[in-house]
Structure 1
Amino acid sequence: MSAVNAQQLLPGVGQHRIVVLLIDDQKIIGEAVRRLLRDEADIEFHFCNEPANAIAEAERLSPTLILQDLVMPDVDGLELVAAFRRHPATQRVPLIVLSSTEDPKRKAEAFALGANDYLVKLPDRIELIARIRYHSSAYVAHLERDAAFRTLTAELAEAADYVRSQLPQPLDGPIRSAWEFIPCTALGGDTFGHFDIDPEHFAVFLLDVCGHGVGTALLSLSVMNALVRQTLPAVDYRDPAAVLGALNDLYAMERHNNLYFTLWYGVWHRPSRRMTYCVAGHPPAILVTPDGNTTELRLPSVPVGVAADFPYATAETAIPDGARLYLFSDGVYEVTRPGGEAYTFSEFVGHLATPAASPGHKPRETVALMRRLQGHDDFDDDVSLLELHFE
Structure 2
Amino acid sequence: MPPEQTKADSALTQHAITVLLIDDQAMVAEAVRRMLASDEDIIFHYCQDPTKAVHVATEIGPTVILQDLVMPEIDGLTLVRFFRAHPRLRDVPLIVLSTKEEATTKAEAFALGANDYLVKLPDRIELIARIRYHSKAYINLLQRNEAYEALVKSQQILSAQIQRAAEYVTSLLPLPILDGAITTRWRFVPSAELGGDSFGYHWIDEDHFAIYLLDVCDHGVGPALLSVSALNVLRSQSLPNTDFRKPGRVLAALNDTFQMENQNDLYFTIWYGVFNRATGELKYASAGHPPALLVCASGEVAELKTPNIMIGGLPGVEYKSASVTLELPTRLYIYSDGVYEVRKPDGEMWTFDEFKGYLLDLQGAESEIDQLYDHVRRMNQGDTLEDDFSMLTANFR
Q: Is the CA contact (8 Å cut-off) linking 1:275 and 1:316 kept in structure 2?
A: yes
AA aligned to 1:278 is A
CA apart distance, 1:141 = 3.4
Structure 1 Cα separation of the partners of residues 386 and 284 of structure 2: 29
8 A contact 1:245–1:311 mirrored in 2? yes
Cα distance, 1:243 vs structure 2: 0.6
Residue 250 of structure 2 aligns with which residue?
A: 243
Cα–Cα, structure 1 residues 323 and 137, in superposed 2: closer, same or farther, change >3 Å? same
Q: Which of residues 254, 261, 272 is equivalent to 1:254?
A: 261
Structure 2 SS opposite 1:354: helix
State the distance in 2 between where 1:66 and 1:181 align.
55
Contact 1:208–1:329 (CA under 8 A) maintained in structure 2: yes
Amino acid at match of 2:374: A
Q: Relative to structure 1, is the Cα distance of residues 94 and 167 closer, same or farther in structure 2, using a 3 angstrom cutoff?
A: farther
TM-superposed deviation, 1:299: 1.4
Whether the 8 Å CA contact 1:292–1:353 is kept in 2: the answer is no
Aligned residue number for residue 115 of structure 2: 118
Asked if residue 161 in structure 1 is aligned to residue 167 in structure 2, the reply is: yes
**Inter-partner Cα distance in structure 1 for 2:162 and 2:153:** 14
Larger Rg: 2
CA distance in 2 between partners of 1:291 and 1:141 (Å): 62
Decide whether the 8 Å contact of 2:64 with 2:131 is kept in 1.
no
Counterpart of 1:282 in structure 2 is 289
Contact 2:15 2:139 in 1 (8 A): no
Q: Kindly provide the CA deviation profile for residues 295-334 of structure 1, in whole angstroms up to 9, marking residues without a partner as x.
A: 1111111111223332212211233334221111111101
Change (3 A) 1:148 1:243: same
Native 8 Å contact 2:275 2:281 kept in 1: yes
Which residue of structure 1 aligns with residue 274 of structure 2? 267
- Structure 1: how far apart are the matches of 2:274 and 2:66? 73
Are 2:195 and 1:188 aligned? Answer: yes
* Aligned 8 A contact 1:324 1:387 in 2: yes
2:169 is the counterpart of 1:172: no
Residues 321-355 of structure 1 deviation map (CA, whole Å, 9 limit, x = unaligned): 34221111111101121222221111111122123
Distance 2:352 2:46 in 1: 64
User: Is 2:379 the partner of 1:382?
Assistant: no
SS of 2:358's partner is helix
**Residue type at the aligned position of 2:235:** V
Match of 2:4 in 1: none
In the alignment, the residues of structure 2 paired with residue 249 and residue 11 of structure 1 have an alpha-carbon distance, to the nearest angstrom, of 40
User: Does the 8 A contact of 1:288 with 1:323 survive in 2?
Assistant: yes
Q: Indicate how the Cα distance of structure 1 residues 42 and 357 shifts in structure 2: closer, same or farther if over 3 A, else same.
A: farther
Identity of aligned residues (%): 33
Aligned to 1:331: 338
TM-score by length of 2: 0.72
CA distance in 2, matches of 1:12, 1:213: 21
Is contact 2:62–2:92 with CA below 8 Å preserved after alignment?
no
Query: Secondary structure at the residue paired with 2:115?
Result: strand
Q: Deviations for 1:118-147, whole angstroms, at most 9, x for unmatched residues?
A: 333689478547445443344333322322
Cα distance in 2 between the residues matched to 1:285 and 1:138: 50
Residues in 2 aligned to 1:356 and 1:68: alpha-carbon distance in whole angstroms: 75
> Could you tell me whether the CA contact under 8 Å between 1:286 and 1:327 is conserved in 2?
yes
- Rounded to whole Å, the distance in 2 between the matches of 1:349 and 1:11 is 49
Q: Structure 1 residues 41, 193: CA separation in 2 closer, same or farther (over 3 Å shift)?
A: farther
255-264 vs 138-147, greater mean Cα deviation: 138-147
| Residues 1:313 and 2:320 are matched in the alignment | yes
1:234 CA drift (Å): 1.6
What is the TM-score with the length of structure 1 in the denominator?
Answer: 0.73
Helix, strand or coil at the partner of 2:377:
helix
AA at the equivalent of 1:305: G
Aligned residues of 1:65 and 1:135 also touching (Cα < 8 A): no
Secondary structure, in 3 states, of the residue corresponding to 2:248?
helix
- Which SS does the other structure have where 2:346 is aligned? coil
User: CA 1:387–1:67 in structure 2 vs 1: closer, same or farther (change >3 Å)?
Assistant: farther
Q: In structure 1, which of residues 216, 224, 227 is the aligned counterpart of residue 231 of structure 2?
A: 224
Q: 1:251 is aligned with what amino acid?
A: F
Aligned match of 1:293: 300
Q: CA deviation at 1:162?
A: 1.5
Q: CA deviation at 1:194?
A: 0.8
> What is the RMSD of the two structures over their aligned residues, measured on CA atoms?
4.7
Mean Cα deviation higher: 118-127 or 135-144: 118-127
Q: For residues 333 and 202 of structure 1, what CA distance do their matches in structure 2 show?
A: 27
**CA-CA distance at 1:211 after TM superposition:** 1.7
8 Å contact kept, 1:209–1:259: yes
Q: Distance in 2 between matches of 1:320 and 1:66?
A: 82
The gaps in structure 2 that reach 5 residues or longer are: 1-7, 70-75, 121-125
Q: What's 1:96 paired with?
A: 93
Q: Distance in 2 between matches of 1:342 and 1:155?
A: 30
Helix, strand or coil at the partner of 1:206: strand
Secondary structure, in 3 states, of the residue corresponding to 2:362? coil
How far off is 1:170 after superposition?
Answer: 1.6
1:192-243, Cα deviation, whole Å (9 max, x unpaired): 1111101111101011112223322221111111101111012111111111
Give the match's secondary structure for 1:148: helix
